[in-house]
Structure 1
């Protein structure tokens, strides 16, 4: 059996899923305002392995959501994944976070636009078709009333940006699926398995998350 552990920590959702031959069999996740990833992640991993009645040595690979997203969240997830891969001697698979978010949408027409909050009116976004093929590369962009105006298809927006964006993005072909807020590790299973089968892996020693823009430190108020 080919078991792959999938880790998603790019947003407020701390999510871990175990997949067997590309199918999710167990998933544990929690989205909290305080970013409890450091406390929750390894607990979720231990619980999933125990409930599945396997050992870590049964894993064939670890997949991690590579970003863009929260700097701290990505560091925690990638560090955990790299540590496990190194200790177990298994490959590391990197998965596009925005594709993971987009895969929660089931439509037959139009385009899917996953967005992750990048503070103020800036978002990380990409454009996918209903088969989850990427039609536009990932951008960090400031949202305005002219954003995506060149796209005439139905546009389905998902992610944690609905509240701040829906008052600006008001065209008739814009639809906000507000129930889809965060990427989940359970949507990584099919992607990571396909990558595993073709040996599409990354270097455990040198892999770094895809931050898209530099991490900014906010000066403390005196």
Structure 2
């Protein structure tokens, strides 16, 4: 049996779950309009442990959503996960953010799922998965135009889900595209993927692990008044 603490902070959804093997024991999350991870993450962790009648010493591993996503959100989540793993001397598991999003879609055989997270302007972070949650195309940061994802939609339904779906909806016209902006990364879907990695002992080096930012962080500075 494996008790795993799952942390999802890649977007505005501050999400924490505890899973027993691949089943959710407790889930705490809040998808606020603004990022509140620095205030809520550790509170949710403590509340989840209390609700499950567990202590930190009961945990067998910590799983973190590794990105892509918000630079600040990812830093907060990874810092918390690494601190727990160091102090408790338990392994760290990383889960691709877009892969756990794809698990929220009940795709049929031959259908595809493309999770998209909103980036700047007409850009999204995206990856392509088949109905078995296997990666068909690697994660990219790409600018959406009328030709984006067209090669996947000729003979099958393609679910485009996540915060970037609204941006895609306004540009992509193929009838096989199905859009759903309501899908957000959550620690709920992390449980299945985390247990798979735990069973295979696919752990990260806690000292050297870094989030998957995909793009360099750019600090937006305020313009000086003339």
Q: 1:214 aligned to 2:216?
A: yes
SS of the aligned residue for 1:137 comes to: strand
Runs of at least 4 residues off by over 6 Å:
none
TM-score, normalising length: structure 1: 0.97
TM-score, normalising length: structure 2: 0.96
Structure-2 separation of matches of 1:49 and 1:31: 20
Partners of 2:62 and 2:92 within 8 A in 1: yes
Structure-2 separation of matches of 1:128 and 1:165: 17
Structure 2 residues without counterparts, runs of 5 or longer: none
**Could you say which residue in structure 1 is the equivalent of 2:33?**
33
Root-mean-square deviation (CA, aligned residues, Å) is 0.9
| CA offsets 1:21-78 (integer angstroms, 9 cap, x no match) | 1111110111112200100000000000011101000000000000000000000000
**Could you say which residue in structure 1 is the equivalent of 2:12?**
12
SS of the aligned residue for 1:188 comes to: helix
Structure-1 separation of matches of 2:168 and 2:223: 29
> What's the offset of the Cα at 1:177?
2.1
What are the within-5 Å matches in structure 2 for residues 70-89 of structure 1?
70-89=70-89
Structure-2 separation of matches of 1:179 and 1:76: 24
Structure-1 separation of matches of 2:202 and 2:169: 37
2:193 pairs, out of 191, 194, 197, with: 191
| CA offsets 1:72-96 (integer angstroms, 9 cap, x no match) | 0000000000000000000000001
> What's the offset of the Cα at 1:15?
0.4
Q: 1:174 aligned to 2:177?
A: yes
**Could you say which residue in structure 2 is the equivalent of 1:124?**
125
> What's the offset of the Cα at 1:163?
2.2
SS of the aligned residue for 1:211 comes to: coil
**Could you say which residue in structure 2 is the equivalent of 1:146?**
147
Structure-2 separation of matches of 1:121 and 1:157: 15
Structure-1 separation of matches of 2:165 and 2:115: 10
Structure 1 residues without counterparts, runs of 5 or longer: none
SS of the aligned residue for 1:114 comes to: strand
Structure-2 separation of matches of 1:70 and 1:106: 26
> What's the offset of the Cα at 1:137?
0.3
Structure-2 separation of matches of 1:36 and 1:91: 26
**Could you say which residue in structure 2 is the equivalent of 1:203?**
205
SS of the aligned residue for 2:41 comes to: helix
